[in-house]
Amino acid sequence: MEKTEIRTFPTISQRHVSVRIPGLKWLLLVIPLIYTFLLLYFPIVNVLKLSFYDQTGFTLHYLQEILTDMLYLKVLWITVKTAFMVTVVTLVLSYPIAYLLVIMESAKMKKLILGIVMVTLWISLLVRTFSWSVILQDHGIINDYLMKLNIIHEPLKLLYNNTGVITGMTHILLPYMVLSLYSVMERIDLRLIQAAQGMGARPWRSFVQIFFPLSLPGVMSGSLIVFVLGLGYFITPALLGGQDNMMISKLIQQNIQNTLNWNLASALSIVLLATTFLLLGFAYWISRFSPILKGDN
């Protein structure tokens, strides 16, 4: 063995090393890929298979049940609607924060604000959700203060309806949006704005025509992350929502852990996955019309 090796590579030890390194890189790529495949895709495919196969063999019964039963379509619609509204609210709240982070000069303040945004990620989801129910309830701080100040005379209905769900979910998903926006905005060359203003553009105009369009890739990626994450939520809607805040993941969970109807659960997952892909495809299709979103940036 040793002999052959010496004979094959007698003098090119230098090159020998440079050949080895790309191999190492491939290995570094292949191992995580095998990992992901074995631990993620393989089980997912196995679970999704259940929506077409049950004890009796191939069947479209479960998918048919979902697509013909108003209940499931309605819940799917509520799920998509909730995720969409949360995305919009999150975007509106996050954009100024991210913008502030970019134009701010004090590095200390920047760190502080980022820290405040990030800290919410480290608090348990259940704790945050229950805290919201304490804040938003009829005799919570918001309603109590507004009533004391005589602004309202009846407590506002902030909980156990859409308002509660969207408040809670927005709070949880906000950091993802801020970070996506910030990562893109940070790379925008602020001299472009100076140049625009130097040419006589008013601040709002330089923002609308220069900064905002350049930040669109961040808006896009942040919205997609928040939207897709929002589609899978069920604990927060369950605790802060009313009788019609029903999310599809709740039905999936019920079918897996309670009624043990894995076939229906799997079919519901497929429908949710397909809906997600459809909506993502739609977003991709829209972005084709914008040179910035296409990724030339």
For binding to another protein (CB under 8 A), which residues are involved?
17, 20-21, 24, 27-28, 31, 34-35, 38-39, 69-71, 74-75, 78, 130, 133-134, 137-139, 160, 238-239, 242-244, 246, 251, 254, 256-262
C-beta of 216 vs 238, nearer to another protein:
238
**Shortest Å distance, C-beta 230 to another protein:** 18
Alpha carbon separation from 139 to 142, 152, 162 (Å, rounded): 8, 13, 19
Residues with Cβ within 8 Å of residue 294, at least 6 apart in sequence = 287, 288
How far apart (Å, rounded) are the C-alpha atoms in residues 114 and 222? 16
What distance in Å separates the CA atoms of residue 167 and residue 156, rounded to the nearest whole number?
14
**Residue with smaller CB distance to another protein, 75 or 80:** 75
The CB-of-257 to another protein minimum distance in angstroms stands at 5
Neighbours of 194 (CB within 10 A): 11
For the CB of residue 105, give the shortest distance to another protein in the complex, in Å. 44
Q: For residues 80 and 188, which CB has a smaller minimum distance to another protein in the complex?
A: 80
H or E, element range at 1: none
Nearer to another protein among residue 183 and residue 261 (C-beta) = 261
Q: Which is nearer to another protein, 49 or 111 (CB)?
A: 49
Closest to another protein by CB, 24 or 107: 24
Minimum CB separation of residue 279 from another protein in Å reads 22
At 240, the amino acid letter reads L
Number of neighbours of residue 130 by Cβ within 10 angstroms: 14
Q: Which is nearer to another protein, 106 or 243 (CB)?
A: 243
Radius of gyration of the chain (CA): 26
Q: Which is nearer to another protein, 189 or 244 (CB)?
A: 244
6-22 burial, b for 16+ CB within 10 Å, e for fewer? eeeeeeeeeeeeeeeee
- Ranges of beta strands (E only) in the chain are 53-54, 57-58
Distance of closest approach, residue 7 Cβ to another protein, in angstroms: 17
Least distance to another protein from the beta carbon of 228, Å? Answer: 23
Which residues have C-beta within 8 Å of that of residue 226, sequence separation ≥ 6?
Answer: 83, 86, 87, 90, 91, 173, 176, 177
- Smallest distance, another protein to C-beta of residue 219, A: 33
CB of 243 to another protein, least distance (A): 5
- Compute the distance between CA of residue 88 and CA of residue 162 in angstroms, rounded to an integer: 14
Comparing CA positions, the residue from 160, 18, 169, 170 lying closest to residue 92 is 170
| CA dist., res. 199 & res. 176, Å (int) | 36
What is the sign of the dihedral through the CA atoms of 64, 67, 70 and 71?
A: positive
